[in-house]
Structures are given as structure tokens and as C-alpha cells.
Structure 1
Amino acid sequence: MAARINKKRSFLFVSKVLGKHIPVGPYTPLLSGAALALLLYLEMSADDADREIMDKLMDQAVHGLIHPEFAEEAYRDLLAARLELPQPVLFIGFAETATALGHSMYNMFAGGASYIHTTREDIPELESVVTFEEEHSHAVDHLCYALNPELLSGSEPIVLVDDEITTGNTAINTIRDIQSKFPRREYVVASLLDWRSAGNIQAYRDLEQELGIRITALSLLQGSIEVKGTPLLNAEAGAGGEESAAAELVTTYVQDGLERLQVTSADSHGVINPSPYLKYSGRFGLESADNKRLDEGVTRIAEQLRGLREGTRTLVLGVGEFMYLPMRIAAEMGEGVAYQSSTRSPIYPQRRADYGVHSAAAYPSAGDTEITNFIYNVDPGQYDDIFVLLERDVPRQRIEPMTDILQRLAGNKVHLIVLASEPETGGSRT
């Protein structure tokens, strides 16, 4: 656990399998979503004929999560199972922490699945089909931009995916909003951790009765917690440890062959970024038929990035909500690669063996300078090369606060990788 710098909730569970606050092997967070997918399959469709096989796969998945050296094998075996649900299912991942978790869960199903993740980004040209609040969060508004207006209009079950359920209020708020616009009979709330109290569990039952729906909760670990004390509201500055000389920064535009969406974003000051978004990142909706195209793009990017590696210790860094594609790319970049993402979660760092966050580096977000982002648990010289992947281009002066920090952390070189559908004039630049 760690202390959250937040008056609404004073604690945070720092996951060793999520790939957010702690660097992990990329197959570990991919496997965590796959394990949730297997739980859903066992709940909705597994019969006696294949339950024994599925139980063995679940044992293998749990073993891989506990022992990361077996995570890749467990993930690949689960993917090879080609799971199919008896009816279409829509998955919704909660921003920012569970965007990759939800995507990995959805990706396990060979057909009949669709996915979208919520976002905190303001895209003026599009209208959010779902809007709700996360009451305990430092950033409360969730938006949901579905390009296909039919995505939420069916009667299929909706699976809400979050990394952790503490009270269940976020899921309740989401279900209420969806049900008021796109009513259906069945919801599933899937999470790595479920800490709901008896009263919180009853709140689900009460909502079922009120709305005439069914809510199923799935988690890899369930228990109860009690937290005492007051929140710490001031973080220790700096990343900790001795800083090395600034590593070289190399910017590379990588042509990925993936389709772009020609819409813009606006920050808190109304400043517009005209750079297009990846159409199939998950933010705008995906269907199973899109997965092959994404897989091809991931392999194409990873092949190019493997050739840029110079050291044996590499960190691949996603940015905020943009987690899943960098995670997948990291998984195909060879041995000695760790993955994590930057985050807007404010956490108090402290160097203790029994504490989840030992270092923190803060900087203004490239997407919105009013938002502070953090990189946790990376020490100077821990990695030879650091690759930070951007979904879309941003003005150089906006990304510099982040790259300045990374240059003090990397032992050799920082690669700023900007994904692009077409080659930029002049190619790579430093």
C-alpha cells in the first residue's frame, strides 16, 4: 500500500501486476486481464466438458502472476484457447488505470466482444455517450466517446473493468447512467481486487432490485480492509538517489500503418491539439474484427523499436490512458524489457522496504499543463534505455518537462517514440 495525496481517500493499493506504478514484465499485466477473462468465461459459458481444462488454465494464470518468469507462457496458452462467449459482450475499462486491463480482458475473446474505455480527455467534436463521476478520485469526470452509436444500444451484458473495487460506488454510478440511456438486464463488475464491505455488497443487491437488473462481481482477490489515520498532503520531491548526467534524447516517428481519427482535443485553457488520435486505441470503441489489425500494428512497431535498443535493461513507458498498445509493444521487444505507465495519481513516496512507492518524479502533463503527472519507482541508472510512447504528437515544449526527467533517469538514451500513420518529413530527429 501507499499513502494517496487526496482528501477523499488516503490510501492506494500499489499493484505488482497492473503495470502502472511499479515497472513489471509486460506479460504480467497482460496476464492479469487474461485471468479476468477466464473468470468471466467460467461464469458465463464453461460447461462440465471443458471446465477441467479451464481450471487448469486458471491455475496456470495464477502461477504466472505470482511467478513472473512464467507469465508469458501462461498468457500465450490462454490466448491460444480462443475463448468464445455464448452471446455478445461489451467491455468498458475505467480510465486511467484500467484502460489496459479492460483491453487485455476483452482481447482474450476470439469473437462477439466489443470494447471501449472511458477517458478524461475533452474532444470537442464528439459527444460523450456516458458521463459519470468517480467520487473518491482526484479527477472525477469520466467521458465515453463511442464512434459507433450502436455500441451501447443493444441488450448484451456490459462488463465494467477496474483495477480495484473499494466501495463499488463508481460502478453503481456508471450502471445508473448507462441504464438511464441504454437499459439492459445484466452487468458484470470485474476487478483485480474487491474490498467491498457487507454494506457495499448490499448496495449492489439494492440496485438490482431498484433497476430490475443482475450484477455479478468477479475478482482475482477478495477481502476486507480497514484504514486508519489521516492522508498525507505533501509529497517528497524528486526521484531519489543520485542523478546521472543527462542521457541523450532521440525522437523517432514510427509509421505504424494504423488508421487515425481526425478529431482534436482541448485542454483546461481551451488550447487545441490538432494531432489526430489512433482510431483503434480503445478510446473510441473496438470490435473483435479490429484485433488482427491492431496485432499487425503492434508487431510492426516492436520490430522497429527492437532495432533501437542498445542496452540490456529497457523500460517502455506508456502515458496516462495510453497503456495497452505500449504494453503489447513492450512484450515483443525482447528480453530485459520492463513496462509501466505515467499516471495522474498523486502518491506520497517513501523509501521503505514495506512501502509501495519509493520514488516520485512530477511534471505538468503534455496534454494539459494544469494536470500533474507522475513517474514512480524508477531510479537513475536503473535502465540503460527508456522508450516513452506517445499516441499522438504534442508540441515539443509540452513534452520537455517529462523528457527532462527521463534523461536524468536513463543510463544511456531516452527514445521519444511518436506513433504516426504517415512518415514525418525528415524522419527521426534528436
Structure 2
Amino acid sequence: MSITTLSTCSLEQQISSFNILGDLNITIHVRQNPYHLPLEALFQMAARINKKRSFLFVSKVLGKHLPVRPSASVLSGMALAARLLEEFYSHEVSDLPEIVQGIIQQEKSEEILHKLLQHPLELPEPLLFIGFAETATALGHSMFSAFGTKAEYIHTTRELIKEVPSTIDFEEEHSHAVAHHFYPLDKNLLHSACPIVLVDDEITTGKTALNIIREIQQHFPRKQYIVASLLDWRSPDDHRKFLELEAELGIEITAISLIKGEIEVNGVLDEQQAEQTKPAFVEPEAEPTVITLETAALTKLSFSSIDQTGFVNTLPYLQQTGRFGMTSEQQLQLHDTLREQGQFLQQYRKGTTLCMGTGEFMYVPMMIAASMGDGVWYQSTTRSPIHPATKETYAVQNAFAYESPDDPTVRNFMYNIPEQRYDELFLFLERGTSVERLNSLYAALAQLPIPNKYLVMFR
């Protein structure tokens, strides 16, 4: 991927052209960049294996496809929290310069995050934050975690849970996995009239946000919604659709982001120019060492899930992931627990460490990783199919595919794990499953060029 940037006197009027692969080109017109964040600090681009959308903004702060310092990833959510206070409530945030510094200079992020967690931001009224699965579960949780009181959080999920009916369901049209479900333990979570903050990493058209707003408004009406994203690339026609929904439903929708602009897509991807992602079929010489974390301070929920094959997993979920709802008070307790678990895992480290969340299970391992000392990087497995290419500046250099332990009909991927970079890997699983369902994951782990591998489970 090659990049050409033409700038005027301000970073807020910036044009950048990206040659992704072959004839596929993206031109970005940045209209708003309130915190003057360099684009190269926020994302790279890659070709996506998806007929509905052939490209992907690969975030350098999200902690999904690319390794990131875990504290910097949390700060990206806190930057959105600061943006919310400034844009929606006209409140100044004195910590904003430090938050921005921690995103741009990730080596400083741990100290900055620790300070902010000790002195959280305050909301003028109660808000409900909703993160979108699977990519924005940690981003939404991080934004919510910036506030000390008056906030609640829940994220949508792809999981089908037997014992709890889904409160709302909606579709994500452009995605490779379209169905979202919603399982709040507090049945009154959506009954209040407080504003709802919908959190996603990137908005291209805004259809997902419009779909969930329409669904919520049908059953749990209110007056105000806020759509928060790191990147907002809606076209004038997309903006018009937001205005039309406001008029139709009698509501207000406020969009906030770190970067706002428009994109032009030119050319198409020649599939033959993209390297193919091959499944991992190497028989592992040795399984990863299993480390079990005590969860006495965490709540286990005896819910069972059912996948597309009809397999039922009866092993419990963790309540504090955000999938079932969290309050500000529960969040403060969670931070203490995750810090202790990170300090416990630190004893297994020998050098440079990669911590990896799995699917929607991102925030808990991210915060554990943030307490494991210096030299720790974090990313997550993903459903998102991306063309890897060994091309300078291209976002995804290599890929390792495997069948998801939660559903073997779903392929998962681990991206960008180079040789001779990491001394150990800690891969976190929220729930266990059958031994047979771990075989494909173990085979993929055997291919990773990391000498020491640990599978972290929760007792």
C-alpha cells in the first residue's frame, strides 16, 4: 500500500490517497481533525475479502488486527469520551492533551492511563453506552470506563444464548456476520429515557447505527442518540439519511468522532494479486501451557450458548465482559481485579510479550495486559477476512486461520505476527469448550513464530 498526502495549512483539510492492492485505490478527504491526530497514527489500509466492501481501515489503536500497547488502545476510547464532553455537553477536558499524547506516543500511554483511572471524568447526566460486536467491544468499554459515575455499558453480541431472550436484534448489512443480539441482565436497562451512546470503530455509511436506533426507538423510545466513532467517512447522502431518520422518529442524533471526512473508492481488487489466507493444518508438536486465573472477584453466569451446528456449550460466561451490562460501580471493582491478574501473569514473562484476546472478548484481556509491565503488546483474533500481502506499508503482512472454538463453521484469523518479535504469547479464552473444538486453534498456534505459548483460562 502506497500513500500520497496533500495537505493545506491545516490538518483539518487533508487529502490522502492510498493504493491498497493492484488497482484498488482510496482517496480520503479529511474535513475535521479536532485533536490534530496524524492519520498514520490511527490506521493503515488493507483489502478485505468481502464483496460488499473491498477495503478495510485497519486501526493502529483498536487492538484488533494490529498489535498495540494496551494502554494506548484504552486511551483511544477515552479520547472519544473527551470528545463527547466537549461536543455534546460543551465541557472542557483538562486531561485531553495527555490523552492525545498517549495515542500518538504509545510508549507514554501506560503512565497516562494509570493517572486517568485514578481521576475519572464525570458525566452531567446518566448515559448508556453500547459497543458494537465484535470489533468495538473494547472501544465501547474503554469509552465507558473513562467516567466514574452515571454510566452503564453493554455490547451487542453474535452469540446465541439459550436462557436469555434477546432484547433487540438488528442487522449489519455490509458485514460478513450480520446479526447482532442484545442480552442485558437488567431488564430495565433500556427503559430509562437517558441518551444512548452507540460506539463503533469506524462509520462508512452509518447504516448499522441507523438500524439499531430504529430498533431501539420502536421498543424503548427516547429523544437523543449519540453515535461515537474513531473514524467517520459518511457521504453527504449518508448524512441526509441521518436527518431523515431524525425527522421520521422525532429524535436527535449527534455524531462525534476523532476524524471526520469522506472517501472515494476507485478501481477494483484483482484477487490474483492478493495472497490467499490458508487454513492452519499443521499438527502441533506440543499444546500451549494452560494457565488458569482465579475468578473469585468475577461473576460467572451459568448460561449456555448454541452455535450454527446445534452444539450447546454449557460452560459459564463472565458477567464483567460487558456483554450482559455493566455499571460504573462494577467497572471500578473490575479494574482492581484485572490489575491483580495482570501482575500475577507477569511472572511467566521472559521478554517481549504478545497478549491476544479472542473475538468479542477484548476488554478484559486488554486491561490485564496493561498491568503486565513494559514490553507488552495486545491484539485480538477476528472474524474479519483480509487479504494478506507482503508489501511495504500494507496493513496485513501475514495471516493464520483456524476454526473458531465457539463455532467451527466460523473461520477466525490472527494477523501480523512476524518472526523473532515475541518471546511469549498469552491467548485469553473467556470460556472453555470441548477438546476437539480446540484442535484447529492449537494447530494455528503451532504455526506462530513465538517460542512460548500460554492459553489463559478463567476458573
TM above 0.5, yes or no, is yes
1:277 aligns with 2:277: no
Q: Which one of the candidate residues 147, 150, 154 is aligned to 2:188? A: 150
Local SS of the residue matching 2:288:
strand
Partner Cα separation in structure 1 for residue 422 and residue 433 of structure 2:
25
Local SS of the residue matching 2:226:
strand
Judging changes above 3 Å, is the alpha-carbon distance between structure 1 residues 77 and 297 closer, same or farther for their aligned structure 2 residues?
closer
Deviation, structure 1 residue 98: 0.1
* Residue of structure 2 equivalent to 1:237: 277
Deviation, structure 1 residue 79: 3.0
Deviation, structure 1 residue 121: 0.6
Q: Does the aligned pair in 1 maintain the 2:277–2:387 contact within 8 Å? A: no
Q: Structure 1, residues 349-401: CA drift from partner, whole Å, max 9, x if none?
A: 00111211110111100000000000000124321110001111112221222
Q: Which AA in structure 2 matches 1:218?
A: I
Q: Which AA in structure 1 matches 2:171?
A: E
* Residue of structure 1 equivalent to 2:415: 376
Partner Cα separation in structure 2 for residue 216 and residue 410 of structure 1:
45
Q: How does 1:303-318 map to 2 (within 5 A)?
A: 303-309=343-349, 311-318=350-357
Q: How does 1:49-88 map to 2 (within 5 A)?
A: 51=92, 54=93, 56-88=94-126
Q: How does 1:341-380 map to 2 (within 5 A)?
A: 341-380=380-419
Local SS of the residue matching 1:394:
coil
* Residue of structure 2 equivalent to 1:213: 251
Local SS of the residue matching 1:225:
strand
Deviation, structure 1 residue 227: 1.2
Judging changes above 3 Å, is the alpha-carbon distance between structure 1 residues 373 and 110 closer, same or farther for their aligned structure 2 residues?
same
* Residue of structure 2 equivalent to 1:409: 448
1:194 aligns with 2:232: yes
Q: Which AA in structure 1 matches 2:418?
A: D
Q: Which AA in structure 1 matches 2:312?
A: I
- Matched length: 410
Q: What percentage of aligned pairs have identical amino acids? A: 49
CA RMSD of aligned residues (A): 1.8
Q: Which AA in structure 2 matches 1:214?
A: E
Partner Cα separation in structure 2 for residue 323 and residue 232 of structure 1:
33
Q: Does the aligned pair in 2 maintain the 1:380–1:408 contact within 8 Å? A: no
Q: Structure 1, residues 235-289: CA drift from partner, whole Å, max 9, x if none?
A: 523599xx9x957620122112211001101111110111000012100011111
Local SS of the residue matching 2:58:
coil
Q: Structure 1, residues 81-130: CA drift from partner, whole Å, max 9, x if none?
A: 42111111000000000000000000111001000000001101111111
* Residue of structure 2 equivalent to 1:292: 332
Q: Which AA in structure 2 matches 1:284?
A: F
Q: Which one of the candidate residues 297, 300, 303 is aligned to 1:260? A: 300
TM-score, with length taken from structure 2: 0.86
1:104 aligns with 2:142: yes
Judging changes above 3 Å, is the alpha-carbon distance between structure 1 residues 232 and 307 closer, same or farther for their aligned structure 2 residues?
farther
Local SS of the residue matching 2:134:
coil
Q: Which AA in structure 2 matches 1:417?
A: V
* Residue of structure 1 equivalent to 2:71: 27
Deviation, structure 1 residue 57: 2.4
Q: Structure 1, residues 27-46: CA drift from partner, whole Å, max 9, x if none?
A: 11111001101111223445
Q: Does the aligned pair in 2 maintain the 1:384–1:410 contact within 8 Å? A: no
Pick which of 340-349 and 293-302 moved more: 293-302
Q: Which AA in structure 2 matches 1:263?
A: F
Local SS of the residue matching 2:407:
coil
Partner Cα separation in structure 2 for residue 227 and residue 146 of structure 1:
39
Q: How does 1:126-205 map to 2 (within 5 A)?
A: 126-205=164-243
1:387 aligns with 2:431: no
Partner Cα separation in structure 2 for residue 332 and residue 38 of structure 1:
23
TM-score, with length taken from structure 1: 0.92
1:332 aligns with 2:382: no
Partner Cα separation in structure 1 for residue 150 and residue 270 of structure 2:
46
Q: Which AA in structure 2 matches 1:236?
A: Q
Runs of 5+ consecutive residues of structure 2 not aligned to the other structure: 1-44
Partner Cα separation in structure 2 for residue 380 and residue 145 of structure 1:
40
Q: Which AA in structure 2 matches 1:227?
A: V
Judging changes above 3 Å, is the alpha-carbon distance between structure 1 residues 302 and 410 closer, same or farther for their aligned structure 2 residues?
farther
Partner Cα separation in structure 2 for residue 179 and residue 284 of structure 1:
20
- Which is strand-richer, 1 or 2? 2
Q: Does the aligned pair in 1 maintain the 2:81–2:144 contact within 8 Å? A: yes
Local SS of the residue matching 1:280:
helix
Q: Does the aligned pair in 2 maintain the 1:248–1:412 contact within 8 Å? A: no
* Residue of structure 1 equivalent to 2:31: none
Judging changes above 3 Å, is the alpha-carbon distance between structure 1 residues 315 and 338 closer, same or farther for their aligned structure 2 residues?
same
Runs of 5+ consecutive residues of structure 1 not aligned to the other structure: 421-430
Q: Which AA in structure 1 matches 2:76?
A: S
Q: Which AA in structure 1 matches 2:168?
A: V
Deviation, structure 1 residue 190: 0.2
Partner Cα separation in structure 2 for residue 327 and residue 109 of structure 1:
18
Judging changes above 3 Å, is the alpha-carbon distance between structure 1 residues 279 and 358 closer, same or farther for their aligned structure 2 residues?
same
1:323 aligns with 2:367: no
Q: Does the aligned pair in 1 maintain the 2:48–2:386 contact within 8 Å? A: yes
Partner Cα separation in structure 2 for residue 143 and residue 281 of structure 1:
15
